[in-house]
Amino acid sequence: MAFKLVDASYDAEARRAYVLLRDTDEDGEEMVVSLTFAYRTFMPLPFGQIQKEIARKAGIILTQAGSGL
């Protein structure tokens, strides 16, 4: 499985990050993973950098979740 990043967005007011990933399984069916997590930055970052940081943190969260299964 190699999920592809579809969307990574940030709501500064709610301090929440939203990430959408997609892939297909062995049967050709679509798998969709949606992550919502608290994200806070202390530095003013450009939008592109925030997206990269959110995607990086989402990868860490998925790795930690996978190791707990």
Domain that holds residue 8: 4-67
| pLDDT score, position 41 | 83
CA pair distance 21, 23, nearest whole angstrom: 7
pLDDT-derived band at 42 (thresholds 50, 70, 90) equals confident
The pTM score is: 0.80
Amino acid at 41: T
CA pair distance 1, 36, nearest whole angstrom: 21
| pLDDT score, position 46 | 92
Question: Residue range 15-33: average pLDDT?
Answer: 93
Whether pLDDT at 1 is above 80: no
Q: Are 4 and 22 in contact (CB under 8 A)?
A: yes
Complete edge-to-edge strand list for the sheet that includes strand 30-38? 4-11, 16-24, 30-38
In the chain, % of residues over pLDDT 90: 59
The total domain count for the chain is 1
